[in-house]
Structure 1
């Protein structure tokens, strides 16, 4: 089976078609792998676990940037994001919302508070087939309605192929962290990704983190907090977006995890938010079907 052409087939799709989000397959399985390698220390305290989420925000502030890590198919995680946006905006503490789910260079800046969902999606060049608006629309619209800009943070699609060949990204992370990234990619793709593609795909992940980090840093405002919404693997302090910031930028990481014993992470997150497990899905089965070689089209009888 030739995995490389199957994996990169979306590069040849028409421009109006969005690729599947790369971190869709880097969800619970890969994140669990990364956490197990990063070192864990028991469970969150009973007090922290019992406190309602908006109340726990007090313990994470002040911060220049608050990173909210999610599992993409967990609706509870998007609700937590909306609650965060509303809580901060109500207190005039929200500078901007940066979304992994839209490309860097697109934003809602200049739109009125009463902008329609269609106007907002157009401004962000939102790709619903990759990131369902039904899931993320409430987060985005809560910010727009509060007069707070929403900024796309993801690496633009037209720069991803180049990022695969930029070997300089191999030097960004310390060797142990880079190996964790490689392991997460292997496990997140169910062992289907050829070894020759591990390093290029890690470069894209690191370049995406750099893009989100730059977008958030540009949105900083004194006395307020930028919220960055991304997949759980992107927000880890020793591996993801925070590795691209200067030491004087104050960031806090809140990681939403669902459906299993939740580790408290020594250095990668400041808060763990427990949610119920979403409906079970066979992600590896779906990926195997997606990458299965297509049967040849039978020729017409002569």
Structure 2
């Protein structure tokens, strides 16, 4: 018992100073609205009030499952995720870290790298062949790995293997087999309202340039990924787990929490959505997104500056023109 106490004390002492110096809201990297008074605000959607980051950690430390959403190309979101992981460890939590960005195709390479005598956060990306993954460059995600490594937390894959993703897009959930489909909780359909809302999100996310018929396979893939990420949290090496994923996956109404509720209904789940400021909404409460029933899709909304990026709809328009031969 004394040895365990001293280990925790040593970890806390080692992490306290660097993490205090690394508070992301003192040195934003994303430039747009970085000088806004709302940048760094944490909004408790249930209480309808602002809370400070320390109170957020206290609340998250009580949950079995913590889900932290993100916008993938915003570096501050990954720095905040790393900060949360480090602070949870300092508070005595010891969750497994499940990452959407690591598919089960990479499970063997991940295990092999983590089994090395001295794996480093910097080396994890190359070990997973990150440069060819399609995700933003590894330096964006490295703060997450650094925090997990420093706290001795395991990292696990979230997304399904690519061949299963393709199979589901083409053949639907029945291709999984009856037992596997039920195990993943994919035998229960979303309610019509949630299903329609998912299709609406995909339609808007693809700039209204694809028909809903063409988007139907994407909706199946979205659900498959949510189900696999929930399973990754449920089967992680630790009793508690923390998920790093896009905001669309962590939303409480139809994302990963939907599957967690069906497979572990007694578990406490806490969702944090990292949201970019847009300069148009005047108060933190204006950034609260709700589901079809009016319930907030996250427990906490952490407001951050916006990253610079090209217009995604213009990029998609150009890509579609190239695919159609420029007509």
TM-score in terms of structure 1 length: 0.74
Alpha carbons 2:99, 2:243 under 8 Å: kept: yes
Would you say 1:179 and 2:196 are equivalent positions? yes
Partner residue of 1:17? none
Matched, 1:228 2:228: no
Question: How many positions carry a matched residue from both structures?
Answer: 252
Q: What secondary structure does 1:180 align onto?
A: helix
CA distance in structure 2 between the partners assigned to 1:200 and 1:75 by the alignment: 30
Q: For 2:269, which of 251, 255, 261 is the aligned residue?
A: 251
SS across alignment from 2:97: strand
| CA-CA distance at 1:54 after TM superposition | 4.3
Q: Are residue 121 (structure 1) and residue 125 (structure 2) matched?
A: yes
Aligned residue for 1:111? 115
**1:171, CA displacement in angstroms?**
4.7
SS of the residue corresponding to residue 70 of structure 1 reads: coil
- Partner SS for 1:292: helix
Gaps of 5+ in 1: 1-40, 297-302
Q: What TM-score comes out, normalization by structure 2 length?
A: 0.69
- Measured against aligned partners, the alpha-carbon deviations of 1:130-186 in whole angstroms (never above 9, x if no partner) come to 121010012113212322111110121111111112155585311110111100111
Matched with 1:239 is: 254
Q: Does structure 2 conserve the Cα–Cα contact (< 8 Å) formed by 1:69 and 1:232?
A: yes
Q: For residues 204 and 116 of structure 2, what CA distance do their matches in structure 1 show?
A: 43
Cα deviations by residue, 1:103-124 (Å, 9 ceiling, x for unpaired): 0262457435731346423554
Q: Give structure 2 stretches of 5+ with no counterpart.
A: 1-43, 175-185, 282-286
CA distance in 1, matches of 2:62, 2:49: 23
SS in 1 for 2:315: helix
Q: How does 1:80-229 map to 2 (within 5 A)?
A: 80-104=80-104, 106=107, 107-108=110-111, 110-111=114-115, 114-117=118-121, 119-121=123-125, 124-131=128-135, 132-164=137-169, 165-167=171-173, 169=186, 171-219=188-236, 221-222=238-239, 225-229=240-244
Superposed CA RMSD: 2.8
